[in-house]
Every structure is written in structure tokens, then in C-alpha cells.
Amino acid sequence: MNARLPETSSIPERIAHLRGAMAREGLAAYLVPSADPHLSEYLPGRWQGRQWLSGFTGSAGTLVVTDGFAGVWTDSRYWEQADAQLAGTGVELMKMMAGQQSQPHFEWLAQNLPAGSTVGVDGAVLGLAAARALTSALSARGVKLRTDVDLFDAIWLQRPTLPTETVFEHAAPHATVARSDKLEQIRRAMQEKGAQWHFVSTLDDLAWLFNLRGADVSYNPVFVAHALIGLERVSLFVAEGKVPRALAEALARDGIHVESYDKTADALAALPGGTTLLIDPRRITFGLLQSVPSTVKIVESVNPSTFLKSRKTEADAEHVRATMDQDGAALAEFFAWFEGALGRETMTELTVDERLTAARARRPDYISLSFATIAGFNANGAMPHYRATAASHSILEGNGLLLIDSGAQYLSGTTDITRVLPIGTLSDAQRRDCTLVLKGMMALSRARFPRGIRSPMLDSIARAPIWEAGADYGHGTGHGVGYFLNVHEGPQIISHYAPAEPWTAMEEGMITSVEPGIYRPGKWGVRIENLVLNRAAEKTEFGDFLKFETLTMCPIDTRCFDLSMLREDERAWLNAYHETVRARIAPHVSGEAKAWLETRTQAI
């Protein structure tokens, strides 16, 4: 037997032990996606195998290990981070780029493995769509795929267990629609598809649907579960002991029966032949689908809950506006302290995180951060997903740009905001970049567009001023945001890197980020981000049009800009925004924070 490795083992030791386990199973390669059985973006510790094996901590990436090669495929958001974290491990960075400029991992496997060899992967965490692409590429070259091999239990001594945190109810007034009403909407959608059953694994869909929340995933108030929804009965599969008895009884009164998490596959296997099961092929794993009998008809469509939860009710929107006011007040308190302390006491990127988190924690209904705070000074800000650590961080001194991307979870909403601040004196080039990004952010924030337009098509509106200057950025411009849920939420995404599929249509009530940027590797990074709400604009002979209501309430530091580059209409938008910020935040702050707010919202 191969001994399992402790946490003190090195990355090369872990890769070597994996290769030993591969050899015993007759595998020429082993694939480790960044995924769990729910295809989550952020993973509970038990399914952080890619991070444990490679040392790369980014939220997106796929590890491939063969007898003589190990590599992580990841996109441009993480290249600098991966370069640093993979150095000296023997694991290579495989850069993923848009278009046809790079080779996906499944094509690399097909081209580099001999016919007759076998690739192993844990089907329980392999998405159905990924499995189809992998199978197609491998079978064309005579390479086999095994999906029944989870090698981590054999090599990972301290592999975490399933999360044990208690599930709790997201209650009124913050939960504005009863779960019974949400279930009725789901069942209507099922019937429209001719389905008697619907299987859901997506954690934020489950949390929204049942008005439940948890703490199983850092920063996301969700819990690990699956659900099988019938026309009369719902089975909610959760680890034993996580749902308090009183809550389980309340769920049962709504026809939702709590069952053991490990019974999920058995329930799928017991579906009656001749019935129809609705699944989302992008949100179910290959392994779980294998449990469904061949006599059950499969209908594939986006989970109805994905659309429903993306369209916030007007009551939701009112709660979010109040949340934005409180979050803005916390930011005002932080920035007032920050500007007063800068140059008078030693301050680091870690200090920013600590003090900003403390300011938010003092606000009503605060639960947690919505993601790990990004505070990047100068070159660190050029890494879009940088995170300061005790071992590696910068002191805020000298001249340059500080980028702060942060957010929080409140019972009444989820926030996400990015601002850039001047430290010392900025260069003309830095001011130019900041102004170009501001122009891009304002251009999209002011846009009107047809209802139902596919969200990726809006991306170029924000990029146009930046493209005009010969610059660009390697991430999307906007992502959907949940309501006291995941800070990244579909179906909408504003990114030309994403396919403009029908389910990405923009509809009233959606909350989306607007966050263009410019990054100069080794120098500085700029990103300015607000959250916006889709609102009805007007109806004409050409159809219904939507506009954005800016939700985020925090000044944008005008000291960073070359004001001569702004048109009069752009100045007017910024002045009107700051006037609104001042009016909404002022009642929630006093003293130095109020004085700071007055100063930073002065008209230009």
C-alpha cells in the first residue's frame, strides 16, 4: 500500500506518490479539475486536491499528471500567481488563452498519450460537459477514460471530511419569497419541459430555492447538498446532523424531506423507468448522471432556479440598496482612517484587509466577507487575483497606486467593489490608465440596451475607450452577483471571452458588476468596479429597453484622474453619482468619515 502523505510533504513528494497510485491502477495520466460534486467555483477543503497536489491556489485551473509531466492549465488572471507558486515544484504552467492560441488539456492528453493507454479522473467531480469533451478527444486517438478513480484517499493523509457547519434559515423580511412559492415556479418549469423529476446540485441554487444558508464554502453562504425535486415531494440530501430538527420539521411541512447526503446516487438509481428527469448539463457531474437508469428519459436545460434567482424582486432590490448604503458607510469609515493614518504609521496590504473587514463587521446584518480581499500596491495590483499573505506582502510607502477589491455578505445582500487610491505622487501614465478605466466603466454604466440582449455582447462598450488607447484587459467586464449568495452568479456574464448563448440574456432585476481594468505587469494595476441593477428604461416600436441603476455607493477617488481627458457628459455623470453617494451615505456616518465623504464627493 502507498502510504498517505502528511501536510508537511513537499509538492514533488505528493506528485511522486500520485504517480505511484497511478501505476497501481494502470493509469498513464491522472486529471484533477478544480471542482467538487457540485461544480462549485470555490471549493470545500475536501475537494481542494488540485491545490494540495500542485501548490497553486487560484480558483480556476486543471492539473494533469503523467509519468514524466505535470502541468496546470489556467487563464491569464492567474499567470503571475501560478508562475510564482509553481516555481521549483516540477509542475509547469500551461497558459490558456482565448481563441485558438492555446491547446486545451484534453487535446494535450490526446496528442501526448499512446493509443491503448488510460486516463483516470474522479467522475464525481467531473462536469458532464467536460466529460463529453474529454471522451471525444481521447476516443478519437484510441485513449481510454476511467471515471471511477479517486486517488486522493490513497495519498492524502489529512484530507478534510465533509463540512459540518449547521444549515440555517434565511428568513423574512430578508427572504422576500416563500420557498413554497419558489417550488411552485420550479414545478411549472418542469412541466413545461415534460419532466416529472428535476435534479439540482448547484449550491447557490439550492440555498436560494429553499431559503436556507450555510457556511460550508469560504465567503459563500451555502451548504453542501443535492436535491431531487418531484411534482409532489422533494428530497434534500445533506450530511447528517447539519439541519437542526426544528428546521427539518419546517422543511417537511413544505414537502421537503431531509435525507443523508450519501443516499443521492441511490435516489437517482431508483427513479422509475419511463419518467423524465430535467438536468442542467453544465451543472451536474458525469459520475452522478451515471447513476440514472437508462430507462429514464433525460431532458437537458439550464436549471430554472438559475434564471429565477438572477432576477431579484423589487423587495430584494430595496434590501440591496439599504445594504449598499451600510457597506458604503463602512468604506467611508475605512478610507477616512486610511488617509489620516497614511504616512503617520506603518501600513501594509494586510493592514488594509484587517481594518476594512473590521469596519464592515460593525455594520448591521454583516455575516462575512464575500471573497478574500485583494489589496495590491503597484506591481501587486497588476495581478487581478492577487492576495497578500503574512509571508509575502508590500508596505504602503513611496509613490504609486493601491488597488482594493473587496466585498461582504450581509443578510440583506452581497457587495463587491473595487477602487484605486493614490499613494504619494502618481505619474502621468498612471493617471492616464486610471482615466481610461473610468471612461470604460462609465460608458457601460450609462448604456441602454434591448431587453434580452445576450450579456457578452455588452462587453465592448466598456472596452471601447480602452481599446482606442491601444490597451486591453484579460478578464471579463462583469459577472452576476447573488442576493446574500455567491458573489459570482449566472446566467449573465459580460465578457467577450464567454459564448453569447441564449441563456445569457439580460433581464430586468439582474445584478451585475461593471469592472474594466488595465494591468501593467511589474508596474501597477487599475480596476474600478460598481454593481449595477437591470431596470426597465423605455418601450419603443423597436422593443423593450433596459438601463443600469448603479447600486454601489462609494466615492471614486478623483485624484487618480487626468480630468482633461473627460468629456462634459462624463464629468456630469461622475458629479451626479457623487451627489447621490453623499446624500445616501451621509446619514450613516459622522465625524471624520462624514468629513471625508464631503471631500471625496466634491464636484469636478
Q: Are 566 and 429 in contact (CB under 8 A)?
A: no
Instruction: Return d(Cα 139, Cα 123) in angstroms, integer.
Output: 17
**H helices, E strands: number in the chain:** 18, 28
Summarize pLDDT for 7-57 with one digit per residue, the tens: 678 999 999 999 999 999 999 999 999 999 999 988 999 999 999 999 999
Residue 280 has pLDDT above 70, yes or no: yes
DSSP 271: P
Summarize pLDDT for 532-572 with one digit per residue, the tens: 999 999 999 999 999 999 999 999 999 999 999 999 999 99
Instruction: Return d(Cα 489, Cα 285) in angstroms, integer.
Output: 19
- Domain 168-302, what fold? Creatine Amidinohydrolase; Chain A, domain 1 (3.40.350)
The answer to which of 222-231, 257-266, 384-393, 501-510 has the lowest mean pLDDT is: 384-393
Instruction: Return d(Cα 225, Cα 204) in angstroms, integer.
Output: 10
pLDDT score at 148? 93
Q: Is 587 exposed, middle or buried (0-12, 13-18, 19+ CB in 10 A)?
A: exposed
Q: For 311-600, CATH number?
A: 3.90.230.10
Is residue 450 reached through a cis peptide bond, with omega within 30 degrees of 0 on the bond before it? no
Q: Are 251 and 243 in contact (CB under 8 A)?
A: yes
Instruction: Return d(Cα 549, Cα 565) in angstroms, integer.
Output: 25
For 359-406, the three-class secondary structure string (H helix, E strand, C coil) is: HHHCCCCEEEECCCCEEEEHHHHHCCCCCCCCCCCCECCCCEEEEEEE
- Residue with the larger pLDDT of the pair 77 and 515: 515
Identify the CA nearest to 400 among candidates 368, 356, 433: 433
Residue 101 banded pLDDT, cuts 50, 70, 90: low
Q: How far is CA 530 from each of CA 42, 269, 328, rounded to the nearest angstrom?
A: 22, 46, 12
Summarize pLDDT for 144-153 with one digit per residue, the tens: 999 999 999 9
Instruction: Return d(Cα 431, Cα 339) in angstroms, integer.
Output: 19
Summarize pLDDT for 114-146 with one digit per residue, the tens: 999 999 999 999 999 899 999 999 999 999 999
pLDDT score at 98? 60
Q: What mean pLDDT value characterizes the chain?
A: 95
Q: How far is CA 125 from each of CA 50, 381, 493, rounded to the nearest angstrom?
A: 12, 33, 24
Q: Is 381 exposed, middle or buried (0-12, 13-18, 19+ CB in 10 A)?
A: buried
pLDDT score at 5? 57
Compute the Cα dihedral for 460, 466, 471, 473 and give only its sign: negative
User: b/e map of 419-450 (b: 16 or more CB within 10 Å)?
Assistant: bbbbbeebeeebbbbbbbbbbbbbbbbebebe
Residue 4 banded pLDDT, cuts 50, 70, 90: low
The whole model's pTM is what? 0.92
pLDDT score at 493? 97
The answer to which of 81-90, 214-223, 300-309 has the lowest mean pLDDT is: 81-90
DSSP 214: -
Summarize pLDDT for 154-209 with one digit per residue, the tens: 899 899 999 999 999 999 999 999 999 999 999 999 999 999 999 999 999 999 99
Summarize pLDDT for 103-121 with one digit per residue, the tens: 899 899 999 999 999 999 9
Summarize pLDDT for 267-276 with one digit per residue, the tens: 999 999 999 9
Which residue ranges make up each domain of the chain? 11-155, 168-302, 311-600
Residue 1 banded pLDDT, cuts 50, 70, 90: very low
CATH for 11-155, options being 3.40.350.10, 1.25.40.10, 3.20.20.10, 3.40.50.300: 3.40.350.10
Same fold, 11-155 and 168-302: yes
Summarize pLDDT for 473-493 with one digit per residue, the tens: 999 999 999 999 999 999 999
Summarize pLDDT for 314-340 with one digit per residue, the tens: 999 999 999 999 999 999 999 999 999
User: Would you state the cell numbers that stand for residue 454, as one nine-digit string?
Assistant: 445576450
